[in-house]
Structure 1
Amino acid sequence: MADDNNRENHRQRVLKGAAILTGITNSEVKCTVRNMHAGGAELKVPIDARVPDEFLLYVPTDGIGYKAIVRWRREDRIGVEFTGTEPKPHWHYG
């Protein structure tokens, strides 16, 4: 993992429940946002989860869906870059 001192944007430590929404058969993977900033986040996911390279990360406490691209993967952690936002999909019940 990159050293925090080398990061362009320092990520704030958080602990938020979230869902990775793939849109493929309206599926989702529950995850935890571990740290985040305006440009991205680190997610903790189940070790056996199948997470695509691009997805919508819905964070209920923020009420926002973040368009995300995976930048790195390590065991049960995924680093993502945010490329925009969109409303929560109508099919998601959370």
Structure 2
Amino acid sequence: MALPAESNSPREHRRRVLKGAAILSGITNSVVQCTIRNMHAHGAELVVAAEARVPAEFLLYVPADAIGYRSTLKWRKLDRCGVSFSGTEPKPHWHYG
């Protein structure tokens, strides 16, 4: 019996972390504080306030790493959301953190 195609491709292991981060939206220079629960080279799971607005695309700045990840929102359920990374960039000059 053949296995479904999805099971043939290994899923990348997400490392558990607990890091503070900020969702930065350059259009309005808005900041939404969040926590990274787990991450890997291509994405992460975030915890945000359930009422917080999370844009479809944003810069996820991680002060502990001094890295900004260009992120795309993939899913959201209550106070959790998953994002994929498409690259990195420096912290914007307007962000205070």
Fold-level match, TM-score > 0.5?
A: yes
Q: Which runs of 4+ in 1 moved over 4 A?
A: none
Where in structure 2 are there 5+ consecutive unaligned residues? Answer: 1-8
* Correspondence for 1:29 among 27, 32, 44: 32
| Deviation string, structure 1 residues 25-78 (Cα, Å, up to 9, x no partner) | 211100000000000000000010001110000000010000000111111001
* Correspondence for 1:78 among 71, 78, 81: 81
The one-letter code of the counterpart of 2:23 is I
Pair 1:9-2:28 in alignment: no
Where in structure 1 are there 5+ consecutive unaligned residues? Answer: 1-5
SS for the counterpart of 1:24 is coil
d(CA) in 1 for partners of 2:52 and 2:19? 18
SS for the counterpart of 2:28 is helix
- The alignment's TM-score, normalised by the length of structure 1, stands at 0.91
Pair 1:49-2:52 in alignment: yes
Percent same amino acid at aligned positions? Answer: 70
- The alignment's TM-score, normalised by the length of structure 2, stands at 0.88
